[in-house]
Structure 1
Amino acid sequence: MKRTTRNALCNLLLLAAGAALLLWVDRTFDRYVVQVLNLIAINTILALSLNLIYGFTGMFSLGHAGFMAVGAYVSSLLILPQAQKQTIYILKPLIWPFSVLQAPFFVAVLLGGLAAALFAILISVPVLRLGGDYLGIATLGFAEIIRVVANNIVPITNGALGLKGIPSYANLWWTYGWCALAVIFIARLVQSNTGNVLKAIRDDEVAAKAMGINVFKYKVISFTVGGFFAGIGGALLASLLTTIDPKMFTFMLTFNVLMIVVAGGLGSITGSVLSGAVITVLLEWLRFVENSVTIGGFTIPGVPGMRMVVFSLALLCIILFRREGIMGMREWSWDMLFRGRTRGGEAR
């Protein structure tokens, strides 16, 4: 059997097994476990999108929260029922055409991603001419501008009150379906000639320019695709939580995604998938450090935000002692699995 045929067949079997597992999980576990599993898929999408920008192209971007906000608001406004829109817009009524627009969930999520991609293109023209820390500061400023604007354009975003009662369409099938699409698309992209160009820009931008590569063009492509999937993640998160407001989309949200990317390995899709699962579960499990604990009659008060302190320390340890993360730049593949089995058979 040819390698490509074998790999395609294995991928189909893996997708079928994943669908069967999702069906079993959805019917067996309680809502909290299902919620955490949904968060794993969404965080993986966000980590993949940032890894494409930072890990594969070498652009230090801190604007992911801004793209997520755009995707979340656009998608939410499209799926909110008109009666709900009239109820929650207390200070000022929702302006036309948002007051009458309605779309199916898939279309709303897709348009949220496209809106984020459009913003990525608009800001990439002035911002991507910068590099290093300056690029990070500029993209961080963009995310903060989006948050402040969302807080003040009340006729569209409802200001600080946010949007409530967003239909909860984001289930395991939607989140993992989009996650699978993100993995497949970004994997095919980085394995293509375009992906090789992006890695060349990451490794040595000056040498890439000397070889005749249009560095700015490929940076815009990477930034736009990353912004698109960040918008998709924001749209899914809004439907999963059923409520959003500008306070959600602070730098801390970008930091969480960056933590997943660094822990998994810059330039590794496999690392982002593994780290997305591990860190999401640990973030939920560590909530106990924020609750009060009684030991032998003594009560130790909980400290709000302590789990993020723990994770910040963990990220510091990763940077100091294992900078390459879980996978480094390595990837898992079917070729690796079958090659290992073949060698094992020859050894026997």
Structure 2
Amino acid sequence: MMKIEKKENNLVKNAVLIIIFAAIIVLLDLDIIGDNYVRRVLNLAAIYAIVSVSMNLVNGFTGLFSLGQAGFMAIGAYTVAVFTVPVEARKAIFYIVPQSPLVANIELPFFVALILGGLLAALVAILIGMPVLRLKSDYLAIATLGFSEIIRIVFTNTKTITNGALGIKSIPQMPTMWVFFGAMIISVILIVLLINSSYGRAFKAIREDDIAAEAMGINLFKHKVLSFAIGAFFAGIGGGLLASLLGTVDPKQFYFTMTYNFLLIIVLGGMGSISGTVIASFVVTVGLEVLRFFDDSLVLFGYEVPIFRAGFRMVIFSILLMILVLFFRNGLMGQKELSWKMVGDFIKGKKSPKKNRKGGAA
């Protein structure tokens, strides 16, 4: 009876949380609360959550050190840009080099182009992963980072399709936040279902000990490529949403430094924690905007404070991150997932009992 009551209480709490979340999105969409700036930041945080969770699937749950997310995002972003810009507006964009007749007259609905971008990113990930995923540790990171740069350079030089360094403008923008947050919710749910499936257990086994996993009959190569491709698919979805949010894409948006932002998020949230990654995505994205006033000059009593300069925001943010890492060495959530019990214990100030070497509570 106690277990049934607890499940019912959790269902009620989840229902209330969903209603509150939906109400906030509706109020933001109707301009009752917030403004365009707030909506833009929250939409960006939702996109970062999708890409970070996909990266955590590869790095945190499968144990592969991949740094290629920016390249896969570029594939998704350019797919949406190339196929959703109205045909009549393309001549004004491709005014130096005409667009290739292969794609010049093809216009797709946004969601079709978005899924296509994810599938193309997954296909490229499979082609890259077949030779690269035989590497390990730092070598894998360097190889995936190199391929990410290759993808960006290819888009820079294929002027008849991507307009080269000039980029593509006039990308249709989505009028509602539900597109971004809906995509985030669906992506997180799908990845959670995958992690809790037999494939997810195989990913975790590879992360813990690939030799033991192989001895148990797990095909290492197959599961590594599968994890890599699924992560790339959702990164492509995130890139397509980013193109819609910004209304423009160009190769400079997808430098390898972008991948470091997602690596920071998954380390801060917890390598192997979906809820921690989502929380960290919003903390990092919103935190960087809240601290933006440090980049503006500050005048006190007619004297300009010299440390308030462009870039000082990142110094403050880095210091705060270092302090946070000192107290949460495994990230905000470690490998745990957020639960109502954890929230209740945190509010009450309780700590989870530590286990001694024999497995009992200390």
Aligned to 1:138: 143
Equivalent residue runs for 1:324-339 within 5 Å: 324-333=330-339
Equivalent residue runs for 1:10-21 within 5 Å: 14-21=17-24
**In the comparison of the two structures, how many residue pairs are matched?**
342
Equivalent residue runs for 1:21-60 within 5 Å: 21-27=24-30, 28=32, 29-60=34-65
| Displacement of 1:185 | 0.5
Aligned to 2:97: 92
Q: Against the structure 1 CA distance between its residues 304 and 243, is the aligned structure 2 distance closer, same or farther, given a 3 Å change threshold?
A: farther
Is structure 2 residue 227 aligned with structure 1 residue 226? no
2:146 maps to a residue whose letter is G
Task: Give yes or no for contact 2:29–2:176 (8 Å, CA) kept in 1.
Answer: no
5+ unaligned residues in a row in structure 1: which ranges?
none
Aligned to 1:113: 118
SS in 1 for 2:235: helix
Q: Against the structure 1 CA distance between its residues 280 and 105, is the aligned structure 2 distance closer, same or farther, given a 3 Å change threshold?
A: same
TM-score w.r.t. length of structure 2: 0.87
Match of 1:289 among 280, 289, 294: 294
SS in 2 for 1:330: coil
Task: Give yes or no for contact 2:276–2:332 (8 Å, CA) kept in 1.
Answer: yes
Equivalent residue runs for 1:137-286 within 5 Å: 137-169=142-174, 171-286=176-291
> Following the alignment from structure 1 to structure 2, what is the Cα–Cα distance between the partners of residues 10 and 107?
35
> Following the alignment from structure 1 to structure 2, what is the Cα–Cα distance between the partners of residues 123 and 12?
42
Mean Cα deviation higher: 165-174 or 55-64:
165-174
> Following the alignment from structure 2 to structure 1, what is the Cα–Cα distance between the partners of residues 264 and 90?
36
Mean Cα deviation higher: 305-314 or 136-145:
305-314
SS in 2 for 1:294: strand
Mean Cα deviation higher: 93-102 or 297-306:
297-306
| Displacement of 1:228 | 0.6
Task: Give yes or no for contact 2:74–2:152 (8 Å, CA) kept in 1.
Answer: yes
RMSD, aligned α-carbons: 2.5
> Following the alignment from structure 1 to structure 2, what is the Cα–Cα distance between the partners of residues 129 and 309?
38
Aligned to 2:74: 69
1:227 maps to a residue whose letter is A
Is structure 2 residue 313 aligned with structure 1 residue 307? yes
| Displacement of 1:339 | 11
> Following the alignment from structure 2 to structure 1, what is the Cα–Cα distance between the partners of residues 125 and 276?
25
> Following the alignment from structure 1 to structure 2, what is the Cα–Cα distance between the partners of residues 204 and 7?
35
TM-score w.r.t. length of structure 1: 0.90
> Following the alignment from structure 1 to structure 2, what is the Cα–Cα distance between the partners of residues 74 and 101?
12
1:224 maps to a residue whose letter is A
Task: Give yes or no for contact 1:170–1:240 (8 Å, CA) kept in 2.
Answer: no
| Residue deviations 1:247-297 (CA, integer Å, cap 9, x gap) | 110122111111111110000011011111111111111222222222222
Task: Give yes or no for contact 1:63–1:143 (8 Å, CA) kept in 2.
Answer: yes
Aligned to 2:355: none
5+ unaligned residues in a row in structure 2: which ranges?
351-362
